[in-house]
Amino acid sequence: MAGLAAWWRARLATVALVLPVLVLPVLVITLLPVTAAARSTLGLPDFTALVKKNHRAVVNVSFIPDATSVASDAPASPLDEQIRRFREEAPGIDDADSQGSGFIISRDGYILTNNHVVQGVGEVMVSLHDRRQLRAEVIGADPRSDIALLKVDADNLPVVSIGNSKALEVGEWVLAIGSPFGFDFSVTAGIVSAIGRSLPSENYVPFIQTDVAINPGNSGGPLFNL
């Protein structure tokens, strides 16, 4: 089930606002196909039903930064600093037309994403799974927990299944859906590495640590458990 880390945390599970982790090149080895029945026998997780149920409610969030915005002199938060440092070190990241992810929480067009995805930007656009592109309004944001609420003018949209982060346990299998490097609706999986993590700041916001492959463009997308 999907949900948010921190904001609404009594009701929701977690959002993939996990700090991005670069994926190292790996050697791809072709193996014989493994059926769902075989995976079950081997004790391996099968994410296919989870993906089919929720992937249509995941969106791509894109924007063009507002050229008239003025940089703030206020010190950056530890989370902002981590994100800035990663974006500087990550290859091929273009701030002129940046992207993130989000997920639909109501059929009438409310969408959750990360605050840093839409903070201080110009026009925000949301791409749905059916390839429709809609303008989005930023309804509200909470920089402390890095959460933002968007609204698009649409009805009868698919929504994610919301979970409860308090029920999450270390070692659980989890899955992320997002748009790393602009590759829409990409799926990666891993486990919950720790819960109740926090960044070195005065405010305690419990984050979920995971080893799921997360890259620029995944920010704001959902993290599902089985």
Q: Tell me if residue 146 is catalytic.
A: yes
pLDDT tens column, 149-188: 999 999 999 999 888 888 999 999 999 999 999 899 999 9
| Phi, psi dihedrals of residue 167, rounded to the nearest 5° | -90, -5
Catalytic residue status for 55: no
d(CA 85, CA 78): 11
Taken in order of first residue, the domains within the chain and their CATH numbers are 45-67+78-225 (2.40.10.120)
- SS3 assignment, position 37: helix
116, 145, 179, 186: which is the annotated catalytic residue? 116
- C-alpha–C-alpha distance, residues 67 and 212, integer Å: 34
- Is residue 155 among the annotated active site residues? no
Residue with tokens 């530890």: 78
Q: What is the pLDDT along the chain (226 residues), one digit of tens a residue?
A: 554 433 333 333 344 444 333 333 334 333 445 455 555 566 789 999 999 999 999 999 998 766 554 444 444 555 555 545 555 554 444 443 458 999 999 999 999 999 999 988 889 999 999 999 999 999 999 988 899 999 999 999 999 988 888 899 999 999 999 999 989 999 999 999 999 988 776 567 788 999 999 998 999 999 999 8
In this predicted structure, what is the pLDDT of residue 135? 96
| Choice among 98, 146, 165, 179 that is catalytic | 146
- Residue whose pair of structure tokens reads 């977690």 in the numeric block: 14
Instruction: Using DSSP bridges, classify how beta strands 121-127 and 58-65 pair: parallel, antiparallel or unpaired.
Output: antiparallel
Coil, strand, or helix at residue 49? helix
